[in-house]
Amino acid sequence: MQPVTRVIATDPEVIPLNTYGRVGVGVYVSGAATISTLADKGDTATIIAVVSAGVVDYPADGLLVTGGVGQTVVVSQYGD
């Protein structure tokens, strides 16, 4: 899968993820934005965990980016 690059325009902003049986995602953030994993990308209250840039090795339906307007987020998702 190709990485997705997003420049954050709103606060908060949801980046949807594809869902797989086994899944993970690598995340890069150009600044100090807070990223949370969501159980339901349509409901920002379903936060699973707050993560920093790096690797998320569990299923999530989306990423919630807060405090990151103007920053670049690169997401590289894997799974099967």
Residue 24 belongs to domain spanning:
4-79
Instruction: Using the structure block, give the residue that is written with the tokens 């797989």.
Output: 20
Is residue 78 scored above 90 in pLDDT? no
Is residue 1 scored above 90 in pLDDT? no
pLDDT digits (tens, 9 = 90+) for 22-72: 678 899 999 989 999 999 999 999 999 998 768 888 888 999 999 999 999
pTM for this structure?
Answer: 0.89
Q: Is residue 38 within 8 Å of residue 47, measured between CB atoms?
A: yes
Is residue 4 scored above 70 in pLDDT? yes
Is residue 11 scored above 90 in pLDDT? yes
pLDDT digits (tens, 9 = 90+) for 12-24: 999 998 876 667 8
Split into its structural domains, the chain has a count of 1
Cβ neighbors of 53 (< 8 A, separation 6 or more) are 27, 28, 29, 35
